């Protein structure tokens, strides 16, 4: 779920009432949970039941990503707890995890058979510095979806298997009047990563060198194709030169192809909110099929004085009941394999087979290095300059490679 840096707003929400008896007869406690808006527990009855059972009241502090990062960084730099429990999403691996602001969870996991950690996917990503820093809450491959009915109206029986084919289809769809802007991709870092990885570019080598800037690399071609979508083919609306996500544009009825996420069909095929419904399907990423994931996790502040209570809340938050409620409310695919399978058997997860196939092609980006967040901002800036004719695609790639090396040297000093 893509939420970039916008107007900063913090909403503090106290959910549940103080009741006596923390845990097995201890004193009641209040803990704080700092989260992005979509991480707020959606089922208040479930949360109240947790409070009634444990004696732990949870004060939920909901804030946009940038506000979260700043709050954690400022407090942690002073060795103070910004919150007892922290939701980890988007660029949190770079801004929050890499600097050492999170409490290692290995010992707690080992003591918590009730967590059933083996059922939780992609925990390895949250192992940083040899320690588990967070428990995966939902899994979110960066994917693509498309409107099958509109594609068929353009005379195409199946989605594109290469980026060149996708470009040809999009130009034809525009010329035939099916859609003036057949592609919903933002002029942002994610679009380039998606195209480069799927074309087979690893982006970085084992030494964190930016091999995407090599002569003739798939990433260079991907940048040229992406910029062409905006500047020459004009198959992406100019509105997406400045928007941080393409999702509202697609939901509003514009485009055939859309940069999406694992779980997007639950939103895009909801006729109450999407003009694309009910015709949206996933496609396996073109060419070499690779993508990356933007899973979220939940962990403890290193500086919390209430780690035991926070851990009890974390175990509840990633429980099957809580994850089911989150999926029902906002469509985020649970990290628990057993729950994914149960939801699929109930017919509750659309496009499950394509999700499973796409999950075979995951190439994680180095999002836990400290300079990842600042660097991605420079990538988006370069893409937007190139889309507006201020840089050539090759110059944009060269600029972001140079910036990567500068930041790498700076942060490693």
- Are 125 and 138 a contacting pair, CB within 8 Å? no
Q: How far apart are CA 266 and CA 76, in angstroms?
A: 37
Output the CA–CA distances (angstroms, integers) from residue 338 to 105, 107, 222, 321, in the order listed: 22, 24, 37, 12
Alpha carbons within 13 angstroms on the beta-carbon side of residue 193 total 22
Cα(218)–Cα(138) distance, integer angstroms = 30
In the chain, domain spans: 11-140+294-355, 142-291+369-411
The yes-or-no verdict on residue 219 having pLDDT over 80 is yes
Is the pLDDT score of 19 beyond 70?
A: no
Strand partners, 31: 58
Q: Give the pair of three-digit tokens for residue 371.
A: 């300079």
E strand or H helix at 323: helix 320-330
Pick the CATH number of 142-291+369-411 from 3.30.300.170, 3.40.190.10, 3.40.50.620, 3.30.9.10: 3.40.190.10
Contact 154, 169 (CB under 8 A): yes
Which CATH fold topology does 11-140+294-355 show?
A: D-Maltodextrin-Binding Protein; domain 2 (3.40.190)
Q: Tell me the whole-structure pTM to 2 decimals.
A: 0.86
Reported as a single tens digit per residue, the pLDDT across 129-177 is 899 999 999 999 999 999 999 999 999 999 999 999 999 999 999 999 9
High-pLDDT (> 90) share of the chain, %: 90
Could you read off the pLDDT of 68-109 as tens digits, one per residue?
Answer: 999 999 999 999 999 999 999 988 999 999 999 999 999 999
12 sits in the region (left: phi over 0; alpha: psi -120 to 50; else beta) called beta
Q: Which residue has the tokens 């400022």?
A: 74
- Omega within 30 of 0 (cis) for the link into 278: yes
pLDDT above 50: residue 20: no
Average pLDDT over residues 263-285: 96
* Mean pLDDT of the region 58-77: 95
Q: What is the pLDDT of residue 27?
A: 67
> What percent of the chain is helix, strand and coil (3-state, nearest 5)?
45, 15, 40
């Amino acid at each position: 779920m893509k939420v970039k840096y916008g107007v900063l707003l913090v909403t503090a929400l106290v959910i549940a009432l103080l009741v006596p008896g923390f845990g097995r007869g201890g004193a009641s406690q209040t803990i704080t949970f700092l989260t992005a808006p979509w991480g707020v527990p959606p089922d208040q009855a479930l949360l109240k039941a947790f409070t009634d059972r444990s004696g732990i009241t949870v004060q939920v502090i909901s804030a946009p990503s940038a506000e979260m990062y700043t709050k954690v960084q400022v407090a942690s730099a002073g060795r103070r707890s910004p919150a007892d429990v922290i939701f980890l999403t988007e660029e949190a691996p770079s801004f929050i995890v890499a600097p050492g602001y999170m409490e290692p969870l290995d010992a707690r996991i080992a003591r918590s058979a009730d967590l059933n950690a083996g059922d939780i996917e992609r925990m390895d990503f949250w192992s940083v510095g040899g320690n588990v820093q967070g428990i995966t809450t939902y899994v979110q491959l960066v994917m693509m979806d498309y409107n099958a009915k509109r594609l068929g109206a353009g005379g195409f029986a199946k989605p594109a298997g290469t980026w060149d084919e996708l470009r040809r289809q999009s130009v034809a769809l525009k010329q035939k009047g099916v859609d003036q802007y057949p592609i919903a991709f933002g002029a942002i870092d994610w679009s380039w990563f998606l195209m480069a990885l799927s074309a087979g570019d690893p982006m970085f080598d084992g030494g964190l060198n930016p091999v995407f800037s090599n002569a003739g690399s798939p990433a260079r071609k991907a940048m040229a194709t992406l910029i062409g979508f905006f500047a020459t083919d004009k198959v992406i609306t100019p509105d997406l030169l400045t928007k941080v996500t393409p999702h509202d544009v697609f939901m509003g009825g514009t485009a055939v192809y859309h940069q999406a996420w694992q779980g997007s069909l639950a939103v895009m095929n909801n006729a109450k909110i999407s003009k694309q419904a009910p015709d949206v399907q996933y496609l396996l990423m073109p060419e070499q099929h690779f993508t990356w994931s933007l899973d979220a996790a939940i962990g403890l502040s290193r500086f919390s004085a209430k780690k035991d209570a926070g851990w009890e809340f974390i175990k509840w938050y990633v429980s099957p009941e809580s994850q089911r409620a989150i999926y029902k409310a906002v469509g985020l695919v649970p990290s628990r394999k057993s729950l994914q399978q149960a939801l699929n058997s109930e017919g509750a997860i659309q496009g499950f087979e394509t999700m499973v196939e796409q999950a075979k092609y995951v190439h994680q980006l180095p999002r836990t290095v400290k300079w990842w967040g600042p660097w991605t901002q420079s990538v988006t800036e370069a893409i937007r300059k190139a889309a507006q004719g201020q840089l050539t695609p090759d110059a944009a790639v060269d600029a972001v490679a140079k910036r990567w090396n500068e930041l790498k040297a700076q942060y490693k000093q």
